[in-house]
């Protein structure tokens, strides 16, 4: 580390603020003017631009000591998932589970401090202690020390990492758009039956070539699920699958996890329409052999079946294979004639999730069983319609896989460069060359 780097307490970087929740039951505090940031808003993005909750300006003024200006650094400081960091993109209020640093920008870069804190989740969790509800209070949070170069070098480090973050964000936004297109297509064809309704009215289905339009009937018929396109069948999910079943944890539990090996997919890796690599466990070949019956195959649909993440679902991506699943994740394998995306997008529907939650067998802990999943009502369109759907959606998801692969490559580079830059072990010219090559 260069001699011009200095050690500071976090409290020296700016004002430390612990959030506060406005008094409940006051109608004038309810509104949408001011974002009210809580831990669920920390979803891995650098900037928190919007929150799931909001309050009125009057509500914000009722806790005006906790109003946070833009560019403040926010850190979750209570609970088992503490230590997540983000930057406030706009003026906001946070709840008491979040500590904020209102950064003195005449001396420090908010982005530099954010990057440093984002690397210290485990350390923050350790300082808070091992209780069931660990807390890092305002005073202890302010005592955290960090090494820091002069302001100009802080800004240059942030400027070097920022393009990587921006490209990662762009790739994520592209994937979100692609997913929205696929979901809109599914809803149009298989929920709203737009092509059938158009043909009933003597219109050409919108945005569809004649050959595809010809695959759809021009009328409906009654079924157990209500009106469905004529000739389409109804049934349950078991009719469309060759396998539905959950996995297991290898003997020895977490003690057998490795840095490298066969992937063990857990519920924390399965989000709606997204496979999350963070926290992916690895096991040995011997441990994987114990779980041979729950080996994941390409395009298997994965469904979380217990706990807070119940019913989150995605499709297994090729890059994670070979893989197994633990007991909190179910594998749903489509028959050869059924596109796995058809099943996945059906499981994403609110009506499907409501059906499964209504069968919850977990008592105090939410859970669904194999029998519940098998009993999900579903429509079986004609093979020709399913083949057309598969052709269109395959192109969408292949492009999405390319974007995801690029995102992971850039994230790996960022996460390799960042700790070395923040600690002063890597000088800017070397890091700049690596970043420019990756972004070329």
CB 48 within 8 A of CB 86: yes
Residues 39 and 14 both lie in one domain: yes
Largest CA distance in the chain: 79
Say whether both 106 and 166 belong to one domain. no
d(CA 315, CA 332) in angstroms, rounded, equals 9
Query: Hey, which bits of 38-108 come out as E strands?
Result: 47-48, 53-55, 67-68, 73-76, 85-88, 92-94, 98-103
User: Can you list the positions of beta strands (E) in 106-232?
Assistant: 145-148, 220-223, 226-229
- On whether both 164 and 131 belong to a single domain, the answer is no
Residue 138 resides in a domain: yes
Residue 54 forms part of a structural domain:
yes
- Residue 203 CB-density burial (10 A; 0-12 exposed, 13-18 middle, 19+ buried): exposed
- Using the 8-state DSSP alphabet, how is residue 135 labeled? B
Q: In this structure, what CATH number is given to the domain that contains residue 123?
A: 3.90.220.20
Residues 6+ apart with CB under 8 A from 226: none
pLDDT in tens, 11-50: 999 999 999 999 888 888 888 899 999 988 988 889 999 8
Instruction: Check whether residue 31 and residue 67 sit in a common domain.
Output: yes
DSSP string across 336-363: TTS-HHHHHHHHHSHHHHHHHHHT---T
Give CA–CA dist 280/99, Å, rounded. 28
In whole angstroms, what is the distance from residue 199 CA to residue 416 CA? 56
Does residue 294 contact residue 324 with C-beta atoms inside 8 Å? yes
One domain, residues 56 and 163: no
Q: What are phi and psi of 335, to 5 degrees?
A: -65, 160
| Residues 43, 89 within the same domain | yes
Whether 192 maps to a domain, the answer reads no
C-beta of residue 4 within 8 angstroms of C-beta of residue 53? no
**pLDDT recorded at residue 255:** 74
Q: Is 323 a member of any domain?
A: no
Measured CA to CA, the distance from residue 440 to residue 436 in angstroms comes to 6
- Residues (pLDDT < 50) of the chain are 1
pLDDT value at residue 25: 80
Containing H/E element for 416?
Answer: helix 383-422
In whole angstroms, what is the distance from residue 133 CA to residue 79 CA? 5
Between the alpha carbon of residue 312 and those of residues 26, 174, 222, the distances in Å are 35, 21, 31
Give the count of domains, the chain.
2
Evaluate whether residue 292 is within a structural domain: no
Rounded-to-10 torsion of CA 108, 144, 95, 350? 90
Residue 57, domain extent: 6-148
Whether residue 67 has a cis bond before it, omega within 30° of 0: no
Task: Please tell me whether residues 165 and 56 are part of one structural domain.
Answer: no
CA distance 166 to 180: 21
Q: Global pTM?
A: 0.83
Q: Does a structural domain hold residue 433?
A: yes
162 and 40 in a common domain = no
Helix axes 151-190, 428-439, angle to 10 degrees: 20
CA separation for the pair 316, 328 (Å, rounded):
15
163 and 130 co-located in one domain: no
Tens-digit pLDDT profile for residues 338-357: 999 999 999 999 999 999 99
Q: How far is CA 106 from CA 73, 128, 176, 199, in A?
A: 15, 30, 37, 66
- Judge if 83 and 165 occupy the same domain: no
Give the C-alpha separation, 69 to 76, whole Å. Answer: 17
Burial 211-247, CB ≥16 within 10 A → b, else e: ebbebbbeebeeeeeeebbeebeeeebbebbeebebb
Whole-angstrom CA distances from 105 to 19, 102, 119 are 21, 9, 21
Predicted confidence (pLDDT) per residue in 153-204, tens digit: 999 999 999 999 999 999 999 999 999 999 999 999 999 999 999 999 999 9
Q: Does one domain contain both 162 and 89?
A: no
* pLDDT score at 434: 83
Which residues face 184 on adjacent strands? none
Task: Tell me which DSSP letter residue 5 carries.
Answer: -
Question: Is 426 among the domain residues?
Answer: yes
Decide if 358 is inside a domain. no
Same domain, residue pair 27 and 77: yes
């Amino acid at each position: 580390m260069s001699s011009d780097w200095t050690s500071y307490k976090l409290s020296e970087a700016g004002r430390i603020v612990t959030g506060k929740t406005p008094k409940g039951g006051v109608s004038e505090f309810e509104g949408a003017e001011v974002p009210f940031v809580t831990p669920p808003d920390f979803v891995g993005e650098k900037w928190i631009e919007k929150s799931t909750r909001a309050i009125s300006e009057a509500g914000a003024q009722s806790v005006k000591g906790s109003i946070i200006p833009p560019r403040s650094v926010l850190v979750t400081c209570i609970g088992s998932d503490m230590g997540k960091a983000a930057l406030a993109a706009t003026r906001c209020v946070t709840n008491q589970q979040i500590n904020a640093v209102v950064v003195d920008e005449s001396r420090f870069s908010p982005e530099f401090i954010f990057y440093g804190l984002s690397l210290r989740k485990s350390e923050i969790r350790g300082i808070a202690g091992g209780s069931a509800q660990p807390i890092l209070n305002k005073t202890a949070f302010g005592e955290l020390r960090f090494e820091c170069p002069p302001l100009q070098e802080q800004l240059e480090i942030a400027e070097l990492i920022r393009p990587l973050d921006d490209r990662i964000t762009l790739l994520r936004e592209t994937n979100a758009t692609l997913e929205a297109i696929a979901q809109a297509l599914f809803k149009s064809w298989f929920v709203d039956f737009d092509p059938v309704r158009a043909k009933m009215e003597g219109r050409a289905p919108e945005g569809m070539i004649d050959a595809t339009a010809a695959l759809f009937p021009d009328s409906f018929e009654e079924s157990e699920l209500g009106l469905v396109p004529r000739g389409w069948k109804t049934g349950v999910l078991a009719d469309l699958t060759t396998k539905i079943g959950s996995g297991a944890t290898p003997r020895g539990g977490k003690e057998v996890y490795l840095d490298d090996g066969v992937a063990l997919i857990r519920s924390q890796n399965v989000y709606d329409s997204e496979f999350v690599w963070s926290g992916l466990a690895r096991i040995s070949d011997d441990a994987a052999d114990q779980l041979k019956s729950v080996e994941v195959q390409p395009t298997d649909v994965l469904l979380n079946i217990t706990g807070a993440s119940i019913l989150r679902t995605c499709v297994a991506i090729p890059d994670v294979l070979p893989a197994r699943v633990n007991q909190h994740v179910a594998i749903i394998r489509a028959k050869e004639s059924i596109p796995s995306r058809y099943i996945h997008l059906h499981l994403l529907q609110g009506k499907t999730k409501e059906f499964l939650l209504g069968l919850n067998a977990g008592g105090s802990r939410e859970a669904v069983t194999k029998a519940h999943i098998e009993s999900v009502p579903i429509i079986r369109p004609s093979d020709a319609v399913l083949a057309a759907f598969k052709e269109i959606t395959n192109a969408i998801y292949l492009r999405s896989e390319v974007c995801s692969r690029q995102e992971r490559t850039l994230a790996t580079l960022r996460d390799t460069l960042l700790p070395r830059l923040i600690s002063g072990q890597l000088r800017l010219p070397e890091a700049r060359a690596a970043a420019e090559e990756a972004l070329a």
